[in-house]
Amino acid sequence: MEAPKFVWEGAIPLQIHLHESQVTTLPPPPPALILAPRIGYLPLLAPLIKPYFSSTLPPGVDTIWFDYNGLPLKWYIPTGVLFDLLCPEPERPWNITVHFRGYPGSVLIPCEGEDSVKWSFINSLKEAAYIMNGNCKNVMNMSQSDQLELWHSVMNGNLEAYQRVSSKLKLATVDDEYASLCLQKSQQSVIETDLPAQAKTGRVPVRLYVLSVSKDFDDLDEIPRVDSWEKISYINRPVEIRKEDKCFTLHDALKILLPELFLDESLMNVKLGGVDLEDAVRNSNEDVTSDKVVEDQGQNACKRPEACRISSSAEIKLIRIQGIEPKLEIPFSWVANNLLNPDYFLHVCVCVKVAQ
């Protein structure tokens, strides 16, 4: 249970500036420094932020929202995911701007404080439950007190309380192929432990975010700032873990999610974390000339080991889940069981370089 603990304790150091249009005092207030939980949501920080700036705000009604370099931050995306997505080269502290006026209602869903965030979270949980169990009755029928306790555990980052309440939802986790692999390797007999009798499922709720970059770059800090949500696509997709002889890896999952990026991969020697994936993958697209093979191999000499040219017109530069860049040969079941957010979605950020 190490990994979930790290995920829950993960935090982003924020340096929050008040937008200049709302500064009515001289000197302007200094920025607020706040540690924001990765699994949390930005509006939940309001009670911490407001005292810093309340004395300088113009009169009016407060509606809190944030931007990063002018890009309004979608509050319903967990803070850690926003950071992974918008800061490929991690910026610490992360400089974001807070606004208390002028809510951009055409871009962002209105947020009426904690309650809006809670319902957004519950809706997301419901969707994940539907993917995993085929219905969301357990979430719908949760008692009022359980629902509150679950929500408070997320708000306060209390993993123990969260596990206690969420176990009642009976959202079956997938068999951890990594664990069973280790057991076999260490010559132990696989003993049926007193695990709760849960129905095992192979459907993993994934929320995939793709940042497309058209400029070529070698280092992450050369990635141009994201100035519009148009450059980011995101979807919810269930990923079915297929039981085969070989382990279903993160690489296999990404191939399902981003098929166009994996079209002609068997033509190259994709080196990922020192593991040659060439033999591991099967190719469906054979109609590429030999010239291209040479070209692809030439371009494969990339600086970052995980940056791999996968399709001839685009390449995955970066994959980030909970702030880490996982190796693609990790069993997907381990990723799904350990790196998920409290809404039971696995949020995966991918940065793709698109050829112009």
Partner 1 sequence: MDVLHWDGTLSAKDFRIGAFAFAQKWESCNLAFPPWSWLPCPKHPWLAPPEEEGYLSLEKICISRPNEEEDIDQISQIDTGEEETCCSRNEDVLDDATLVQSNHHELHYCDFHIVYSSTFRVPVLYFRAYCSDGRPLPLDEIEKELPACASKELSKKWTFITQEEHPCLKRPWYKLHPCGTAEWMKLLFLSDTANPKFEVVLELYLLSWFSVVGQVFGLRISLKISN
Structure tokens at 246: 């070989």
Instruction: Look at the chain and count its residues.
Output: 356
- Minimum distance of partner 1 from residue 80's CB (angstroms): 19
- Minimum distance of partner 1 from residue 78's CB (angstroms): 15
CB 315 within 8 A of CB 307: yes
Q: Which is nearer to partner 1, 7 or 314 (CB)?
A: 314
Q: Which is nearer to partner 1, 108 or 183 (CB)?
A: 108
Q: Which are the contacts of 188, defined by CB distance < 8 A and separation ≥ 6?
A: none
Q: Which is nearer to partner 1, 111 or 154 (CB)?
A: 111
Q: How many CB atoms lie within 10 A of CB 300?
A: 16
- In angstroms, rounded to a whole number, what is the distance separating the alpha carbons of residues 9 and 5? 6
- Minimum distance of partner 1 from residue 293's CB (angstroms): 22
- Minimum distance of partner 1 from residue 257's CB (angstroms): 6
- Minimum distance of partner 1 from residue 24's CB (angstroms): 29
- Minimum distance of partner 1 from residue 205's CB (angstroms): 8
| Binding interface with partner 1 (CB under 8 A) | 74, 76, 105-110, 119, 123, 126-127, 130-131, 134-136, 140, 205, 208, 210, 212, 229, 233, 235-238, 256-261, 314, 352, 354
Q: Which is nearer to partner 1, 307 or 314 (CB)?
A: 314
- Minimum distance of partner 1 from residue 75's CB (angstroms): 12
Q: Which is nearer to partner 1, 157 or 238 (CB)?
A: 238
- Minimum distance of partner 1 from residue 116's CB (angstroms): 9
Taking phi over 0 as left and psi of -120 to 50 as alpha, with beta for the rest, 70 belongs to left
- Minimum distance of partner 1 from residue 109's CB (angstroms): 4
- In angstroms, rounded to a whole number, what is the distance separating the alpha carbons of residues 213 and 230? 11
Phi, psi of 186 (to 5 degrees): -85, 20
Q: Which is nearer to partner 1, 24 or 313 (CB)?
A: 313
Q: Which is nearer to partner 1, 17 or 317 (CB)?
A: 317
CA–chain centroid gap for 48, Å, is 24
Cis peptide before 90 (omega within 30 of 0): no
Q: Which is nearer to partner 1, 22 or 201 (CB)?
A: 201
Q: Which is nearer to partner 1, 109 or 294 (CB)?
A: 109
- Residue 211, CA distances (Å) to 74, 89, 232, 332 in order: 15, 13, 5, 22
